[in-house]
Amino acid sequence: MSQEVLTELVKALERGEEVALVTIVAAQGSTPQRVGAKMLVYPDGRIAGTIGGGCYENDALGKAREALLARKPRLVKYDLTDDFAEESGLICGGQMTVYIEPVEAAPQLYIVGAGHVGHQLGKIARPAGFRIHVLDDREKFASSERFPEADEVIVDSIPDWLHQADIPQSAYVVIVTRGHRHDLDALRSLAARDLRYLGLIGSKAKVKKIYDALVEEGMPLECLQRVHAPIGLDIGAVTPEEIAISILAELIAVRRGRMEEPHVAAASLQWRKLPASLTKE
């Protein structure tokens, strides 16, 4: 692996970015690069390294971005005959096979609320591969003693910190604060962001009340429909430990591509489309 690609890969993983590694695994005839040449592709189309320039590279770049979206590796074979050259507008010869591998950094998990559920989630999320960040406005709860495996423990005003925080799009964020007001403040700061996962703890009645307030403030319904709420898989969880397990299970399901849409959150908004007589608690 070239030094450039290796350096960029390490930097991307440190930033928590997902990238695709494109490697030439077979080549015959006239090809611009040898077996082993690599190129790193970012979701926005930026690249580092090369597998030979325009002839193969443009097509491989597009397929790498598709692989990032699908979260699945691909083996792509190129037979650059005259027909291929005519269709693509690129002139090359030979055959090449490239392996496209999405590379995912350890996902960043932001736990907003360091109470009982947040504490238990912090215990089990790190062994499952998540890098943990904890936010609370209470120093007694948000401490390195309670979260010894956290990468970051922040004691600050929840809305103030979230408002200015540079949370990556690939991050997972769970809102598990101690009360309705803090949950509302947190969701107000986060709902419009493009995040891999955003979840809100609470009963359906509580979720409805918070959504009500945000919609009245002008929050688009589309933003709220992306929220997993009530948070966690429905396993009948009752205790903080059980609730934390249900949340982690949902995070893993999203990470592994087993849950693409937060169906529960969308259902929580259906009351807005029903007659008022049918939406009373």
Amino acid at site 253: A
pLDDT for res 267: 46
Task: Give pLDDT tens digits for 72-83.
Answer: 899 999 876 655
The order of strands in the sheet holding 74-79 is 47-49, 38-41, 19-28, 95-103, 74-79
In the chain, where the domains are located? 3-103, 108-278
Task: Give pLDDT tens digits for 110-119.
Answer: 999 999 999 9
**Confidence band of 70 (pLDDT split at 50, 70, 90):** confident
272-276 own/partner pairs: CB under 8 Å, 24+ apart: 272/215, 272/221
Strand pairing category for 131-136 and 108-112: parallel
pLDDT at 256 over 90: no
Per the CB < 8 A criterion, the answer to whether 165 and 152 are in contact is: no
User: Of 31-35, 78-82, 126-130, 140-144, which gets the smallest average pLDDT?
Assistant: 78-82
DSSP class of residue 140?
A: T
Tell me the C-alpha distance between 187 and 9, whole Å: 33
**Confidence band of 153 (pLDDT split at 50, 70, 90):** very high
**Confidence band of 93 (pLDDT split at 50, 70, 90):** low
CB atoms within 10 A of CB 179: 10
Please provide the distance, in angstroms rounded to a whole number, between the alpha carbons at the two ends of the chain. 61
What's the CATH number of domain 108-278, 3.40.50.720, 3.30.200.20, 3.30.56.10, 3.90.420.10? 3.40.50.720
Could you tell me which of 268, 261, 228, 270 has the C-alpha nearest to residue 246?
A: 228
pLDDT for res 279: 34
pLDDT at 87 over 70: no
* Bridge partners of residue 194, in order along the sequence: none
Distances, alpha carbon 225 to alpha carbons 70, 79, 169, 201, 229, in Å? 21, 44, 17, 15, 9
pLDDT for res 81: 62
pLDDT for res 146: 97
The HSE-up count of residue 150 (CA atoms within 13 Å, CB side) is 24
